[in-house]
């Protein structure tokens, strides 16, 4: 069975869609766009199939063109829904952080009540929480200082042995 | 009289009620439920028909209004 079919009637057109491919919300979205130009009616044409009937409000309108327009609109609506679904967690996370920030810094009691550990501590992939000295320290200088410190330690222990 | 049938899975009952109330000045409507559908029997009022309002157009507009409200309710998080 085709996932999409249409039937032209007298001044009206019927289109059927498979709900597995085009979700109900996308069909709603496309129907809403046509509501000013057409009388739109939705019905079930079977299990998981939705039938959309479009009847032009203006006499002499090209109903066949409505079919193509509706299908294009439906595809756009389906795609938008998919993008919203994919970005839902990201949007929720950003909103939660924004609301958390707006509430102001936590009090001492709230900090003590927090379960902060290795697993629950927030991730810092950009190194924002790192101190400036830690982030930009010169590796060569740091290694040289370390070597000097080790050398001094050895000398000190050697001195002890000599005495 | 024109009978409109709205599938319960696709139309919101409150939206249909609201649409009927909105068009109450122009038509009388009898609401019932039958086989998983909301059934609305629309009859244009004589005042409306005397003004040249067609009963079929009135019914179609009522159905469109009900669909529009259903979609708005679905978008705002309400069940359709």
Token representation of residue A24: 């109900």
Write the residue in B9, B68, B74 that is nearest to A35 by C-beta.
Answer: B68
ipTM summary value: 0.90
Residues in B closer than 8 angstroms to A28, CB to CB, are 70-71, 74-75, 80
B2 touches chain A (CB under 8 A): no
Residues in B closer than 8 angstroms to A44, CB to CB, are 7, 9-10
The DSSP call for residue A49 is: E
Residues in A closer than 8 angstroms to B71, CB to CB, are 28-29, 31-32
Write the residue in B7, B67, B80 that is nearest to A35 by C-beta.
Answer: B67
Q: In this model, does residue A1 exceed pLDDT 50?
A: no
A13 contacts B35 by C-beta, under 8 angstroms: no
Residues in A closer than 8 angstroms to B23, CB to CB, are none
Domains and CATH numbers, chain B: 2-75 (3.30.70)
Q: Within a 10 A sphere around the Cβ of A28, how many other Cβ atoms?
A: 21
From residue B48, give the alpha-carbon distance in Å to each of A63, A64, B23, B40, B54: 29, 32, 11, 18, 8
pTM: 0.69
pLDDT tens across A19-59, in order?
999 999 999 999 999 999 999 999 999 889 999 999 999 88
Tens of pLDDT, residue by residue, chain B (80 residues): 999 999 999 999 999 999 999 999 999 999 999 989 999 999 999 999 999 999 999 999 999 999 999 999 998 876 55
Alpha helices in A13-62 (DSSP H): 24-34
Residue B59: closest CA among chain A residues belongs to which residue? A39
Domains and CATH numbers, chain A: 1-129 (3.30.1360.10)
């Amino acid at each position: 069975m085709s996932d999409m079919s249409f039937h032209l009637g007298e001044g009206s057109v019927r289109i059927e869609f498979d709900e597995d491919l085009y979700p109900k919300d996308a069909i709603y979205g496309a129907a809403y766009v046509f509501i000013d130009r057409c009388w739109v009616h939705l019905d079930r044409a079977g299990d998981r199939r939705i039938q959309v009937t479009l009847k032009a409000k203006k006499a002499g309108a090209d109903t066949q063109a409505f079919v193509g327009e509706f299908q294009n609109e439906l595809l756009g609506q389906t795609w938008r829904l998919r993008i919203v679904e994919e970005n839902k967690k990201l949007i929720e996370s950003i909103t939660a952080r924004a609301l958390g920030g707006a509430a102001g810094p936590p009090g001492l009691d709230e900090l003590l009540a927090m379960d902060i550990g290795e697993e629950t501590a927030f991730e810092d992939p950009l190194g924002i929480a790192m101190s400036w000295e830690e982030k930009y320290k010169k590796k060569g200088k740091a290694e040289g200082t370390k070597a000097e410190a080790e050398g001094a330690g050895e000398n000190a222990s050697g001195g002890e042995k000599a005495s | 009289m024109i009978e409109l049938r709205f599938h319960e899975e696709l139309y919101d009952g409150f939206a249909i009620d609201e649409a009927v109330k909105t068009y109450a000045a122009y038509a009388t409507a009898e609401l019932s439920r039958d086989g998983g559908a909301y059934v609305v029997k629309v009859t244009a009022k004589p005042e409306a028909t005397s003004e040249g309002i067609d009963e079929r157009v009135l019914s179609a507009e009522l159905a469109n209004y009900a669909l529009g409200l259903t979609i708005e309710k679905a978008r705002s998080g309400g069940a359709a």
